[in-house]
A and B are shown apart, each in its own frame.
Chain A
Amino acid sequence: MTELTATIAPTLAPTRKGKPSLFATLWSRANLFTRINLGAFALVLIVAATAHWIAPFDPDAQKLLARLKPPMGFAGANGTNILGTDQLGRDLLSRTLHGLQLTMAIALIGSLISLVLGTTLGVVAGYARGWFGGFIMAVVDIQLAIPFTLIALVVIAVFGNSLPVLIITIGLAGWEVYARIVRAQVLATSRMPFVEAAVAAGAKHDRILFKHILPNIVSPIIVVWTMTFSALILAESSLSFLGLGVQPPTATLGSMVGLGRDYLASTPWIALVPAIAIMFVSLQVLLIGDWLRDALDIRLK
């Protein structure tokens, strides 16, 4: 046996000492592109938070003499409105900054609501199973079958139109996706031998859930979050379009695109400026999600 051990036992690479913090690990796993992207996203958040101070004009102030001015650098630009003006002569840069603020608030808080709600219910449905799990999944199926705008109409008709109601409504729009995926993941993970080993060692439910199951299903949750984030931005704009969302003249990125649509052929920048902002933010979220998913996976090095 000794010669066997000598010939077959694999050699291991030198080990690392101590454990770095989670943030240090995540940062060390970000390449240059990801770091730039993270910086850019931080900038977006700062700009959105400080829109009131950095916007050059009042976003709702109309100046009919300076209507439909193109962005700087194009023929006919007036020099004071950097990104041009819309059909009512409102400054597009200021509107975009304020719109960004509101849109980010709605999308971030709304997606967080669906994430927490959906994950919690998914975990309960997957871990407890039984009649309550079945009931949750029935609710999921019902919500998937009913058009979201119908639910939104009812909610806003009952509770009135205000920003908190809007955010909660949008949050309620996405939870069922999380619930479904999380339930399936919990079902699969809770049958893994390492979970059984924990049970056999005498672990209680809370330990099994928070120490073993949840950390192992973080990846799909992040993927769903990044994929639904941009959908939430658009959900808000469709609600605004129906008159259920944020009311004019208050700007959100989605409603700006909606209003700019009529002018797409003649003055395309009215829709393009907020559309590019939406695209930029969605792309950032997707890339950050990608990085988080890989960086949190201990197996990928």
Chain B
Amino acid sequence: MSANALLVIENLSISFGRGDKARRVVEGLDFSVAPGECVAVVGESGSGKSVTAFSVLGLTGFNGGTIETGSINFRRRDGSVVDLARADERLMQSSRGDEIAMVFQEPMTALNPVFTVGEQIAEVLRQHRGMDRQQAAARALELITRVQISDPARRFTQYPHELSGGMRQRVVIAMALACSPRLLVADEPTTALDVTIQAQVLDLMRDLAREEGMALLFITHDMGVVAEMADRVVVMRKGRKVEEQAVAKLFAQPRETYTRALLNAVPKLGSMAGTVGPLAFGADPKTARPAPTVNAPLLEVKNLSTWFPIYKGLLKRHVGDVKAVDDVSFSIGRGETLSLVGESGSGKSTTGRSILRLAKPHAGQVLLEGQDVLKLDREAMRAKRRDMQIVFQDPYAALDPRLDAFEQIVEPLVIHGVDKGSALRDRAVELVRRVGLEEEHLDRYPHEFSGGQRQRLCIARALSLSPKLIIADESVSALDVSIQAQVVNLLIELQQELGLSYLFISHDMGVVERISHRVAVMQYGRIVEMGTRAQIFEAPSQAYTRALIAAVPVADPTRGHYQSTKTKELIPA
């Protein structure tokens, strides 16, 4: 092991399962981390990046895996070198949380719900530093202050469920920092957070790492985050290292085809300036078309409000309402895409569901071709549903696991009695081909498809009744970036061919910029700003919109780090 390295991984292979069913998920991996360096391991789902992170913490067995070959040499504080791949559990327990710490993706599950956050941080100190109760509590309070949580003294005595997602992740970071570890392993630490909160947490992690001289092993799927955080990047695919480069070089001159493809699929905010309409990834900007101009809009939403009542006490007294959607108005033209953006809890999904009457609106009008769908009786509504379809976020949950692809796709046709027998089969074949799948796929069940293919099936199902409007509720958010690009391209293509209108609900500004004609920004159930894509992205008038755009990590390391000081004042953590 070279004298200046902190962590050296050599020829690491990890497999899951035994005997015939054994599956190699990491194969012959080599890379190293120097003290104080940030190495990002990036890859799509199934690339083995998280498994690698867990192996550094000695948690491979905990997840059911086995380290087959290779070593993970780590230099301890006293200068001695241990092989974490072979270390016994006692040694791992003493170094975990002390010399190597971890930050997980989901802060709610990483914290124990029955202890206050103060107690949990103090516990780490008492375990590894042998501090008594008072010392540990004092130091814990110091740490909470350090991770910039507002009102630290009060937070100290609160339970995890009383904190927001961003604050919880800060607490997890405070716990990780408690013993000033030499290496912090972060597994997708900001993926579950809203974009503005993500920017703040990334900022915090970078500052803390610099101040503490702590090395970061950063696991992520997001090229934007990589560009913001990393000094060096390891690209993984199917358990193998594809490429390793300094961050600037990787983005400027990627060596491998896969890396290039990955980078091309990343939506880059601002790359659409000057175009007039949605643009497929990799397409010529000149082919972008503005929305067709038709006088009457397809959909008009007027003063829509959806409130969820809050009941309290034994008698279920009505004490107030959560105004999920509050007096929202917009319209969508034929062949136009209106994107609804906002952070979690802003009411964008509820808006979409209210239009379809999957949620019960409290007031307002939803006019589809001039007819108020909220006033239709049950039978008329059923008939009207032919014109509006929805594509959900999680394509696995959106397909009935017990029905094959054919039954899923033709279900809307069967419900409305459109086709029967062989005509049904012909239509299904046409639909799967339309979304880029094959006829033979019709006999398969959802679990036999990949995530992207499943989402294609959902789109085929939504298309089956030839609707005029498709509500895409975070439809590409759960997909890997390359698959996401393919599905976005498919949506754009279908719009141009079939003249569909989309209500595209998303939190991802990069994708929104690609696919939209117009954009509406939602916050706390209201639309705070609405305009053409160029207006929103190039000249936003509202501070919130500006903050939202500024917070998006840009996949360009030369742009310099995002300064979150602006948003800190605008958005409470």
**Taking CB as reference atom, which chain B residue is nearest A199?**
B358
User: Which residues of chain A (258-301) have a CB below 8 Å from chain B?
Assistant: 298-299
- 0 or 1 for each of B347-367: is its CB under 8 Å from A? (1 = yes): 000000000101000000000
CB pair B282 A197 closer than 8 Å: no
Q: Quick check: is A147 within 8 A (CB to CB) of the other chain?
A: no
CB pair A203 B400 closer than 8 Å: no
Q: Quick check: is B174 within 8 A (CB to CB) of the other chain?
A: no
- Nearest Cβ on chain B to A6's Cβ, whole angstroms: 9
Other-chain residue from B385, B400, B404, B465 in contact with A216 (beta carbon distance below 8 A): B400
Residues of A within 8 A of B190 (CB): none
**Taking CB as reference atom, which chain B residue is nearest A19?**
B443
Other-chain residue from A14, A202, A207, A211 in contact with B383 (beta carbon distance below 8 A): A202
Other-chain residue from A7, A8, A299 in contact with B401 (beta carbon distance below 8 A): A299
User: Which residues of chain B (222-278) have a CB below 8 Å from chain A?
Assistant: 257-258, 260-261, 264-265
CB pair A1 B382 closer than 8 Å: no
User: Which residues of chain B (82-138) have a CB below 8 Å from chain A?
Assistant: none
CB pair A201 B415 closer than 8 Å: yes
The complex places the Cα of A28 from the Cα of B401 at a distance, in Å, of 20
Other-chain residue from A1, A194, A211, A212 in contact with B489 (beta carbon distance below 8 A): A1
**Taking CB as reference atom, which chain B residue is nearest A214?**
B402
Residues of B within 8 A of A215 (CB): 400, 402
User: Which residues of chain B (440-457) have a CB below 8 Å from chain A?
Assistant: 440-441, 443-445, 447-448, 450, 453
CB pair B261 A10 closer than 8 Å: no
CB pair A200 B390 closer than 8 Å: yes
Other-chain residue from B257, B400, B441, B482 in contact with A212 (beta carbon distance below 8 A): B400
Q: Quick check: is B14 within 8 A (CB to CB) of the other chain?
A: no
Interface core residue of A4, A199, A215 (most chain B CB under 10 Å)? A4
Q: Quick check: is B486 within 8 A (CB to CB) of the other chain?
A: yes
Q: Quick check: is A58 within 8 A (CB to CB) of the other chain?
A: no
CB pair A216 B402 closer than 8 Å: yes
CB pair A202 B385 closer than 8 Å: yes
Q: Quick check: is B399 within 8 A (CB to CB) of the other chain?
A: yes
Other-chain residue from A10, A14, A19, A200 in contact with B356 (beta carbon distance below 8 A): A200
- 0 or 1 for each of B386-400: is its CB under 8 Å from A? (1 = yes): 101110111001111
The complex places the Cα of A298 from the Cα of B411 at a distance, in Å, of 19
**Taking CB as reference atom, which chain A residue is nearest B262?**
A4
CB pair A200 B402 closer than 8 Å: no
Q: Quick check: is A192 within 8 A (CB to CB) of the other chain?
A: yes
CB pair A298 B447 closer than 8 Å: yes
Other-chain residue from A3, A197, A211, A216 in contact with B390 (beta carbon distance below 8 A): A197
- 0 or 1 for each of B367-390: is its CB under 8 Å from A? (1 = yes): 000000000000001110110111
**Taking CB as reference atom, which chain A residue is nearest B445?**
A298
The complex places the Cα of A1 from the Cα of B441 at a distance, in Å, of 23
CB pair A1 B281 closer than 8 Å: yes
CB pair B399 A4 closer than 8 Å: no
Residues of B within 8 A of A12 (CB): 441, 444, 448
Residues of A within 8 A of B443 (CB): 15-19
The complex places the Cα of A215 from the Cα of B453 at a distance, in Å, of 24
- Nearest Cβ on chain A to B543's Cβ, whole angstroms: 35
CB pair B486 A1 closer than 8 Å: yes
Residues of A within 8 A of B388 (CB): 200
Residues of B within 8 A of A16 (CB): 443
Given known contacts A7-B258, A194-B399, A197-B461, A1 and B392 CB-to-CB distance under 8 angstroms: no
**Taking CB as reference atom, which chain B residue is nearest A15?**
B440
CB pair A201 B447 closer than 8 Å: no
- Nearest Cβ on chain A to B95's Cβ, whole angstroms: 37
Q: Quick check: is A141 within 8 A (CB to CB) of the other chain?
A: no
CB pair A200 B385 closer than 8 Å: yes
Residues of A within 8 A of B280 (CB): 1
The complex places the Cα of A36 from the Cα of B458 at a distance, in Å, of 42
Given known contacts A4-B485, A215-B402, A203 and B394 CB-to-CB distance under 8 angstroms: no
- 0 or 1 for each of A174-216: is its CB under 8 Å from B? (1 = yes): 0000000000000000001110111111111001000110011
Q: Quick check: is B181 within 8 A (CB to CB) of the other chain?
A: no
The complex places the Cα of A15 from the Cα of B444 at a distance, in Å, of 7
Given known contacts A7-B257, A202-B412, A202-B416, A197 and B398 CB-to-CB distance under 8 angstroms: yes
Interface core residue of A12, A15, A202 (most chain B CB under 10 Å)? A202
Q: Quick check: is A21 within 8 A (CB to CB) of the other chain?
A: no
Given known contacts A15-B444, A201-B411, A194 and B398 CB-to-CB distance under 8 angstroms: yes
CB pair B445 A203 closer than 8 Å: no
The complex places the Cα of A193 from the Cα of B393 at a distance, in Å, of 9
Q: Quick check: is A31 within 8 A (CB to CB) of the other chain?
A: no
CB pair B397 A193 closer than 8 Å: yes
The complex places the Cα of A15 from the Cα of B160 at a distance, in Å, of 48
Residues of A within 8 A of B400 (CB): 194, 198, 211-212, 215-216
**Taking CB as reference atom, which chain A residue is nearest B261?**
A4
**Taking CB as reference atom, which chain B residue is nearest A13?**
B448
CB pair A201 B265 closer than 8 Å: no
- 0 or 1 for each of A145-159: is its CB under 8 Å from B? (1 = yes): 000000000000000
Q: Quick check: is B483 within 8 A (CB to CB) of the other chain?
A: yes
The complex places the Cα of A199 from the Cα of B258 at a distance, in Å, of 41
CB pair B358 A202 closer than 8 Å: no
Residues of B within 8 A of A202 (CB): 381-383, 385-386, 412, 415-416
**Taking CB as reference atom, which chain B residue is nearest A14?**
B440
The complex places the Cα of A196 from the Cα of B392 at a distance, in Å, of 9
- Nearest Cβ on chain B to A133's Cβ, whole angstroms: 15
The complex places the Cα of A8 from the Cα of B448 at a distance, in Å, of 17
CB pair B482 A8 closer than 8 Å: yes
The complex places the Cα of A8 from the Cα of B45 at a distance, in Å, of 12
**Taking CB as reference atom, which chain A residue is nearest B260?**
A3
The complex places the Cα of A7 from the Cα of B482 at a distance, in Å, of 10
CB pair B392 A203 closer than 8 Å: no
Other-chain residue from A8, A192, A212 in contact with B261 (beta carbon distance below 8 A): A8
User: Which residues of chain A (96-153) have a CB below 8 Å from chain B?
Assistant: none
Given known contacts A4-B265, A201-B412, A10 and B486 CB-to-CB distance under 8 angstroms: no
The complex places the Cα of A19 from the Cα of B445 at a distance, in Å, of 12
**Taking CB as reference atom, which chain A residue is nearest B356?**
A200
The 8 closest A-B pairs by CB, nearest first: A201-B412, A4-B261, A202-B385, A193-B398, A15-B440, A1-B282, A202-B382, A193-B392
Q: List 7 A-B contacts (CB under 8 A).
A: A1-B280, A1-B281, A10-B453, A15-B441, A199-B358, A202-B383, A298-B445
- B residues contacting A by CB (< 8 A) are 44, 257-258, 260-261, 264-265, 280-282, 356, 358, 381-383, 385-386, 388-390, 392-394, 397-404, 411-412, 415-416, 440-441, 443-445, 447-448, 450, 453, 458, 461, 465, 482-483, 485-486, 489
- New A-B contacts (10) at CB < 8 Å, excluding given A202-B383, A202-B385: A1-B281, A1-B489, A7-B257, A7-B261, A8-B44, A12-B448, A193-B393, A201-B389, A201-B465, A298-B445
- A residues contacting B by CB (< 8 A) are 1, 3-5, 7-8, 10, 12, 14-19, 192-194, 196-204, 207, 211-212, 215-216, 298-299
